[in-house]
Amino acid sequence: MPAAAVVQSERTYRNFMPPRPPAALYDVNQGQAKCPTRKPQDHSLSEGLDQEAMRQFEDLVTERIRLRTGQTLFRSGERFTSLYWIRSGSFKSVSLLQAGYEQVAGYHMQGEIIGADGIGDDSHRCEATALEDSEVCSLPFERVEALSRQNSGFQRNLHRLLSHEIGRARSVAMLLGTMHADQRLGAFLLDLSRRYQARGYSSCEFVLRMTRAEIASYLGLTLETVSRSFSRFQREGLLQVERRLVKLLDRSSLKRLVDCCD
Amino acid sequence: MPAAAVVQSERTYRNFMPPRPPAALYDVNQGQAKCPTRKPQDHSLSEGLDQEAMRQFEDLVTERIRLRTGQTLFRSGERFTSLYWIRSGSFKSVSLLQAGYEQVAGYHMQGEIIGADGIGDDSHRCEATALEDSEVCSLPFERVEALSRQNSGFQRNLHRLLSHEIGRARSVAMLLGTMHADQRLGAFLLDLSRRYQARGYSSCEFVLRMTRAEIASYLGLTLETVSRSFSRFQREGLLQVERRLVKLLDRSSLKRLVDCCD
DNA sequence: CGCCGTCTTGACGAATCTCAAATAAAGTGG
DNA sequence: CCACTTTATTTGAGATTCGTCAAGACGGCG
């Protein structure tokens, strides 16, 4: 129960970051540049589509948006018009449900689609901020719906996407409702590891794109508790951590810690 | 961080319950009785449909299922085929994500639609259990998808439904991540109150359909802590509570308690 | 080189969990 | 309808986890 989970935004975390391209390239809402659709581990809207549907999907993916670290893709309360498909980089989404309360609702990386929480009331219920220089493609939701009416394979993909989002949110709730601090952090790291691996990166060694305070907000803890858990994990040989760089050394012990409901 | 949130199922909580109809009426999967579509405060799939779509929706609502207290509508891992529309009574859904962990993911009452978490993997991710004698109509999802392709109004309703489910799950996560025990219980009671009111029942006086242990599981607390919070609320004159019967006496103080992020 | 934000660590206290016991209500079987 | 068992709930005492406050270290950036 950390006090009102304070998370700074609009900050630049530029350690471990690649050198930054010229500023001119990085204006938000830059233009109508066509966004090429690639297919790596793409368990989302375009999976399993026939050729015709694939062509239509590519037509639908129009606008490409580039954001720099700390820039905001959409804010809570803004009118919902599009889903956003992360092509590179990563984001956090911050829930701002009631005045005074805010919490990191999730971390999103390449290939994931964000913004679906805004469909319900035609207005975004959270704020999405780039954790590093990133690119997204917007998927205008009216066109998504149109294609979904035309093609049942695409429709099914869309429904899966939305349903998975429900599942993810419930997983977080379960983590927050039933796990201790160590277990929460362990589960968080294992989840990150799995997702990096699915994208072809190392599952053992990765760079956190978020601060301790942001991790803490997501896990319903304070940044001090997160820091202490990291230190304990290191002391016990489960991992090595140096600021944002994490190396998982003993994955099975981590798993046991998380799975063991004690 | 209650230890592995144990929640008993298959129990009968029959205090405060109306007398039970003859047993023969209450077989699960009873038959193909047509399920009449009513329209009270129906903010869901049928809202705002034109006449033709409304007719099609009514065609889609086929099977009516009756369950007695403690009976289970679907279990985790079961194949997903339908959404379920609660026509009377109420349910809890229990997440069973990882072995060992389980938690009440939500409480659902008349008019709500449950089961959407199962779409993503064609298999249910939670278990829905009747908290009192209840009736649901099944909405075969293939037919839901078919109608959604035909009628954009219906499609929009479906998307709103799924998106709202994301929002609800995130609200729970925020509650669990940022609020103290008292605040969680207060928020829970105000939420129930609001939902009863929306259904034409008293917003001040209602009967809890769940045990302290079930409330605790939902709120990420122990049953003792829930009980103590109830007692404190009563001592401070915020409400009156006698076992399952709750009377809210000072709603604005409750609201203040919940909103105040201290 | 010095500032500033991030992170770590320690000491302390508060919130809440655990264990235990008592009470009350509900279900069961005669 | 009564005696008995089971279950739900409340309450207390003590242990534990985690939050709060504070100080200091570290590293990046200007």
pLDDT at A123 over 90: yes
Question: Which residues have a Cβ under 8 Å from the Cβ of B98 and sit 6 or more positions away?
Answer: A258, A259
State percent of chain B over pLDDT 70.
82
Residue A124: pLDDT above 60? yes
For residue A197, is pLDDT > 60?
Answer: yes
Average pLDDT over residues A166-181: 96
Question: Which residues in chain A are contacts of B102 at CB distance < 8 A?
Answer: 178
Q: How much is the CA Rg of chain A, to the nearest whole Å?
A: 19
Q: Is B259 or A219 the better-scoring residue by pLDDT?
A: A219
Predicted confidence (pLDDT) at residue B30 exceeds the cutoff of 50: no
Inter-chain CB proximity A98 and B259 less than 8 Å: yes
Q: Kindly determine whether the C-beta of residue A103 is less than 7 Å away from any atom of nucleic acid strand D.
A: no
Confidence of residue A35 (pLDDT cuts 50, 70, 90): low
The runs of H, that is alpha helices, within chain B are 51-60, 141-150, 152-178, 181-198, 212-219, 223-235, 251-259
Which residue of B5, B166, B177 is in closest CB contact with A103?
A: B177
Threshold 0.75, pTM exceeds: yes
**A158 bridge partner residues:** none
- pLDDT confidence tier of residue B95, bands split at 50, 70 and 90: very high
Which of the two residues, A109 and A29, has the higher pLDDT score? A109
Say which residue, B27 or A208, is predicted with more confidence.
A208
| pLDDT number for residue B37 | 52
C1’ D26 / CA A113, Å: 37
CB contact under 8 A, A170 and B220: no
What's the rounded mean pLDDT across residues B75-88? 96
The predicted pLDDT at position B40 comes to 44
Q: Count CB pairs under 8 A between chains A and B.
A: 174
Residue A61 sits at φ, ψ, to 5 deg, of -80, 100
Lowest mean pLDDT among A17-31, A71-85, A105-119, B152-166: A17-31
Q: Would you place residue B255 in the very low, low, confident or very high pLDDT band (cuts 50, 70, 90)? A: very high
How is residue B109 written in tokens? 């009452």
| Residue type present at position B68 | R
